[in-house]
Homo-oligomer: A and B are copies of this chain.
Amino acid sequence: MVILREKKSLLSKIATSDQHGENSPYFDGWKAYDQDPFHPTQNPHGVIQMGLAENQLSHDLIERWIVENPKSSICTDVGVDLFKDIANFQDYHGMPEFREAIAKFMGKARGDRVRFDPDRIVMGGGATGASESLMFCLADPGDGFLVPTPYYPAFDRDLRWRTGIQLIPIVCKSSNDFKITKQALESAYDNAIKSNIKIKGLIIANPSNPLGTTMDRETLKTLIKFINDKDIHLVCDEIYAATVFNTPDFISISEVLQEMEQDPMNRINPELVHIIYSLSKDMGLPGFRVGILYSYNDGVVSSARKMSSFGLISTQTQHFLASILSDEVFVESFLIENSRRLAKRHKVFTQGLEEDGITCLASNAALYVWMDLRRLLKKPTFDEEMRLWRLIINEVKLNVSPGSSFHCVEPGWFRVCFANMDEQTVQIALNRIHIFVKKGKENETTTTKNKRSRPWSKDLRLSFSSRLYDETTMMSPRIMSPHSPFAHSPLVQART
């Protein structure tokens, strides 16, 4: 024991603490998936990954562009002339053409109603690195930032772990579709002050993760007024800006800031506003690690740029993206088509759920839905939510993410990603849910013959045997067409 304690103290408090938050169910679900990943032919009974907010719907558009534009890569015979210069470039301002292309793309992804200045574009290692650097610039250890719940689980790692800041929840509830109210804002702020926490800012994600909703103009105005009144920062995570697939249109904080600044009566200080952006969701390129901090504050731009040394974007990638994002014809058609495909996928998935009586919070953006399974809980507790979550992971074999990992205050909500898989896998997932619900109803019928109905349950009843589902027997005609690549695969049988 003594030896163990001594060993531990060789490392830092950061390394030996659990503040990275990776022991939350959000990450546990990924581990369950990793141990038994679904594959249509090689592992058809495996866990389907619905916990990963990836956009896999539009890569074919990028691939086609690549084949037509071999000069965009320094690793082709026609592009290699630039290899030496680009491989050597390490200025932390980034390649000028990259910053210009990103600034233009950010404008286009926000309906071209606002212009972004390339000189305010600061690079970071993904939104993860960019957000952490921003926190290092804005706050000292112990300082607090308000965050409306539910919020992205990895904020705990990205914003808090190494910086030592605190995240103070603003409680949002389903009664008004989890919208942030002035009252909830003020109350969270006042409570923090009472607890002697110095509040340095407010962090929002718009479009929201995990809700998939966008904020309206009035709400954004309220937030800008609030942070100006308190003289604190506003950090807007807009990494899902171009995933908006339905009305209302996306309104960026930059647009509202521009409007409000025009009226001097508003007394707006733009230096309090900072945007986090990325190409991981909007372009579907998480592996490329493109994180952007766009700040209206010169001091933050200057400090964060020095910090970008810790997570610069590979110049091989900067060069490629500068090329593709400078092609305005491509960018415009990509944004339209990507949005169209997301709308279609969202519709297929939510309608599939509705056929089984499962509803989601109405949403118009992002790569997931916020699924309401409150009626499936025996009691409205987080223990019950975890029980249901384990059932879904282990029996239905879908890795969805429980609301508790998003710090949601109401048990029974789950984030379900729908854009990180092909059409067939969506159908398999919907079928698994269908059988899950059907079995529940059958059991319910049997149960209610003997017992009275439980008050927490209205029109869904679920229960499970521990038997693994046999995908070959559960497939509906709509997916088991003879053209299905795994319809006749011997591998399907090999794993039963």
Name the residue on B nearest A22 (C-beta). Answer: B306
- A138-B15 in contact given A10-B231, A59-B87, A76-B73 (Cβ < 8 Å): yes
For the complex, would chain A's binding face be called helix, strand, loop or mixed by DSSP majority?
A: helix
**A32-B272 Cα distance, complex, nearest whole Å:** 33
Within 374-402 of A, Cβ neighbours of B (below 8 Å) are at: none
The 8 Å CB contact of A287, one of B70, B86, B307, is: B86
The 8 Å CB contact of A140, one of B13, B67, B310, B317, is: B13
* Identical subunits present: 2
Residues of B within 8 A of A75 (CB): 66, 70, 72-73, 75-76, 320
Within 202-259 of A, Cβ neighbours of B (below 8 Å) are at: 231, 233
User: Is A403's beta carbon under 8 Å from chain B?
Assistant: no
Least CB distance, A348 to chain B, in whole angstroms: 20
Assess the A310–B83 pair: CB atoms within 8 A: no
Name the residue on B nearest A126 (C-beta). Answer: B312
Assess the B233–A310 pair: CB atoms within 8 A: no
User: Is A438's beta carbon under 8 Å from chain B?
Assistant: no
Residues of B within 8 A of A132 (CB): 310
User: Is A139's beta carbon under 8 Å from chain B?
Assistant: yes
Within 60-86 of A, Cβ neighbours of B (below 8 Å) are at: 62-63, 66-67, 70, 72-77, 80, 83-84, 86
Assess the A125–B300 pair: CB atoms within 8 A: no
**A163-B415 Cα distance, complex, nearest whole Å:** 35
User: Is A184's beta carbon under 8 Å from chain B?
Assistant: no
When each residue 48-68 of chain A gets 1 if its CB lies under 8 Å from chain B and 0 otherwise, what string results?
000000101001001100110
Assess the A287–B12 pair: CB atoms within 8 A: no
**A66-B136 Cα distance, complex, nearest whole Å:** 40
Residues of B within 8 A of A126 (CB): 309-310, 312
**A280-B315 Cα distance, complex, nearest whole Å:** 12
Residues of B within 8 A of A37 (CB): none
Assess the A315–B300 pair: CB atoms within 8 A: no
User: Is A288's beta carbon under 8 Å from chain B?
Assistant: yes
Assess the A87–B288 pair: CB atoms within 8 A: yes
Assess the A314–B311 pair: CB atoms within 8 A: no
**A311-B125 Cα distance, complex, nearest whole Å:** 5
User: Is A191's beta carbon under 8 Å from chain B?
Assistant: no
Assess the A312–B300 pair: CB atoms within 8 A: no
User: Is A128's beta carbon under 8 Å from chain B?
Assistant: yes
User: Is A331's beta carbon under 8 Å from chain B?
Assistant: no
Assess the A83–B56 pair: CB atoms within 8 A: no
List 11 extra interface pairs beyond A10-B231, A66-B75, CB under 8 A: A12-B139, A15-B138, A88-B285, A89-B287, A125-B309, A125-B310, A125-B311, A129-B309, A129-B310, A289-B314, A316-B317
Question: What are 12 A-B interface contacts by the 8 Å CB criterion?
Answer: A10-B272, A12-B140, A12-B143, A14-B136, A14-B303, A56-B84, A75-B320, A87-B285, A125-B309, A126-B310, A157-B306, A162-B307
A-B pairs with lowest CB-CB distance, top 9: A287-B315, A73-B75, A311-B311, A314-B314, A125-B311, A15-B303, A59-B84, A90-B286, A314-B317
Q: Which residues of A contact B (CB under 8 A)?
A: 6-8, 10-16, 20, 22, 54, 56, 59, 62-63, 66-67, 70, 72-77, 80, 83-84, 86-90, 125-126, 128-129, 132, 136-140, 143, 157-158, 161-162, 200, 231, 233, 271-272, 280, 284-289, 297, 299-300, 303, 306-307, 309-317, 320, 420
